[in-house]
Amino acid sequence: MTRAVDRTIRLERPELIKGAEEESAAATDTAAATAAATAATKAAEKTVSQRKANAAAAAAQPTRAGGKPNAQEDAGTLKLDTLTEEEFDALPESTLAKLRGDDLL
């Protein structure tokens, strides 16, 4: 019975159907806009929370230690290529330990 009524209304009074379709389309557009706004809000909240988590993780990291590594410390002052055997033998034990890489701490 409803099929017959729908068919008759479409043929005899299509303006009634257009109003209902427009209302339905408007309701669908409004629902889609609301869903898009909700999704955008959730994405913004997720971004803010992720940035806060990243900032907290960055703050938890230790700062960089100052100074230079041992290899760079003596690089400009001691050139092994130009030392004679006597000069090399005269080097103190602490310098030789650094050259060998004994003190890693």
pLDDT in tens, 16-71: 776 655 666 566 778 788 888 888 899 999 999 999 999 999 989 887 776 666 55
Structure tokens at 34: 């609301």
State residue 11's pLDDT score: 81
**Crossing angle (nearest 10°) for helices 2-12 and 14-60:** 100
Contacts of 16 (CB under 8 A, 6+ apart): 9
